Amino acid sequence: MHISNYIFYITPIAALIAFAVSLTILFQPAKERYLRYFSAFLLVNFLMECLGGYLALAHINNILSANLETTLVISFDLFLIHDIVYRKFAKKILSFIVLFYPLFALVDIFFIQVGAFHTISYSLGSLLIVIACIYYFWELFQQSASEPLSRQPAFWICSGLLFYYACTFPIYGTTKLLEALPAIIIENLYVILELVNILLYLSFSIAFLCRLKTRKSMSSF
């Protein structure tokens, strides 16, 4: 049995773990505003993963739901980065993009690529997120760090988003071309996508865990 038959179940579990870890903000409130609503979105993300898994197992056409789900996720990720960056000019540009992108994606889904995966708007969204994440890192290294990068939730979130969209863009963006490949190659690509998705949830989990204060070891007394 191919590994894709097993990894299929791991992604929703990874999403659930990320949401469970995010609940630490209930016990140790976050100073970062975006972490408060990000936790709620991780629950939505987990439910969408479960819905996508159910539709696939039931052999129900899930193109429309996948299109709407990815549109929602990309729009949220753009909004999340908007709240992470500091400079007002960058925030204004991202505010416009957050308003523009969902409209463009819906037009693509219902009027251009009807009944197919929205490769055009997905590719655009991925490119925008990659650029936004690169800008965040540029902005980050312009500042004098007050704490290690490993302790900054935004660093882990943007690192995960950059890695995820940089890896999935070439695959999702060329879906039509990939359909002609042998089944074994498609299955292996699917495994890669799921592994990258799991790594994304791992980076989200670290983003919530890295901010937790730990007790000093007994040796420090």
CATH number of the domain within which 145 lies: 1.20.1070
Domain assignment of residue 217, yes or no: no
Query: Which tens digits make up the pLDDT trace of 112-147?
Result: 999 899 999 999 999 999 999 999 999 998 887 667
Q: Full-prediction pTM beyond 0.85?
A: yes
Domain assignment of residue 183, yes or no: yes
Q: Rounded mean pLDDT of 47-64? A: 86
Work out how many domains the chain is built from and give that number.
Answer: 1
Question: For residues 68 and 149, which has the higher predicted lDDT (pLDDT)?
Answer: 68
Structure tokens at 47: 């439910």
Report residue 3's pLDDT band, with 50, 70 and 90 as the boundaries: low
Structural domain including 39 reads 4-210
Domain assignment of residue 57, yes or no: yes
Range with lowest mean pLDDT among 22-31, 109-118, 144-153, 175-184: 175-184
Dist. CA 84–CA 34, nearest whole Å? 7
Domain assignment of residue 148, yes or no: yes
Query: Which tens digits make up the pLDDT trace of 67-111?
Result: 999 999 999 999 999 999 999 999 999 999 999 999 999 999 999
Domain assignment of residue 220, yes or no: no
8 A C-beta contact, residue 175 and residue 117: yes
